[in-house]
Amino acid sequence: MVLGACGRIGFGPQMAAVDAHSDADAVALDASADASADASQLAIMYVGPFAQRHPGAGVTTDMFTATAHAAGNVIPMQLGCGSTTRPTGVAIAANGWTFHQLSQPNGVSPLWTSRIVAIAPDTAPVTITVTWTGSPCEIGTDVLGDEFSGVATGLTFGILQGGAYTGNGNCSGAITTMTPNEGIWAACFASSSVSAIGPGYLKGADDGGGDWAEYRISADPSGTIETPTFTNAGAYLLDVLTLRSN
């Protein structure tokens, strides 16, 4: 496919890891809490898509309405900008909400993303504004977000670690769990169009422009290598986050 999501075009092979396993969203955990987790505490549940945005080329400010299903639910998100100019920043804001930015815009030209997590304060509809700076995002932007219940919401916001992976072809990455029974959430920002989710995963948010999210609620022990994958042709930027159960 030459033309795909957000009017993006195909690019030559670029295979590289972008801050995988080593960026600021890798956090220390309380060892005593880790020891209490076991297979009987498989508490994480997928609630549904929270944000599925594909506003089109050159939209550096996007406003939309979203509603959480329950206060305390955790929402991992990917914000994407397609451009040959690297963005200097991205901001997301909504009245009464706090969004925690786990990574500044990173990637390989022309795909840039930022990982975000929020904890829903209530179930009232809210207007969310996403603003990119330093880039025209001339190829397009996206927002993918899914809502989960049963995620630990302490100082780490339930996020244990994360990484971004870039390449050409199937959108894939690998991340190692830190506690038992983690949830794995992944979002693929693609230059063409994602066409299928990987084995063992379920589809999450879909922005309608070729960019998808997927998730897996595992019953795996700590130290398990998880490999979220999407069927894809062309360049991609994959964001992965792991979620810790209560």
Tell me the three-class secondary structure of 11-68, residue by residue. Answer: CCCCCEEECCCCCCCCCCCCHHHHHCCCHHHCCCEEEEEEEEEEEECCCCEEEEEECC
Domain that holds residue 40: 5-243
Average pLDDT of the chain to the nearest whole number:
83
Write out pLDDT tens, residues 67-121.
Answer: 999 999 999 999 999 999 999 999 999 999 999 999 999 999 999 999 999 999 9
Residue 201 pLDDT? 97
**Per-residue DSSP letter, 1:** -
How confident is residue 35, by pLDDT bands cut at 50, 70 and 90?
A: very low
> For residue range 186-244, what is the model confidence (pLDDT) as tens digits?
999 999 899 999 999 999 999 999 999 999 999 999 999 999 999 999 999 999 999 98
Cα–Cα distance for residue pair 56/182, rounded to 1 Å:
34
Per the structure, how many domains does the chain have?
Answer: 1
**Long-range pairs for 8-11: beta carbons < 8 A, 24 or more residues apart:** 8/82, 8/110, 8/139, 8/140, 8/190, 8/191, 8/192, 8/210, 9/139, 9/191, 10/191, 10/192, 10/233, 10/234, 10/235, 11/110, 11/168, 11/191, 11/234, 11/235
Binning pLDDT at 50, 70 and 90, where does residue 23 land?
very low
Residue 203 corresponds to which amino acid? Answer: K
- Angstrom distance (rounded) from CA 202 to CA 184: 11
| Cα 46 to Cα 103: distance, rounded to the nearest angstrom | 23
DSSP-derived secondary structure letter, 130? E
| Buried b or exposed e, range 165-203, using 16+ CB within 10 angstroms | bbbbebbbbebebbbbbbbbbbbbbbbbbbeebbeebee
Tell me the three state secondary structure of residue 7. Answer: helix
User: Helix or strand or coil: residue 5?
Assistant: helix
Strands 111-119 and 74-82: antiparallel
Task: Name the CA radius of gyration of the chain, rounded.
Answer: 17
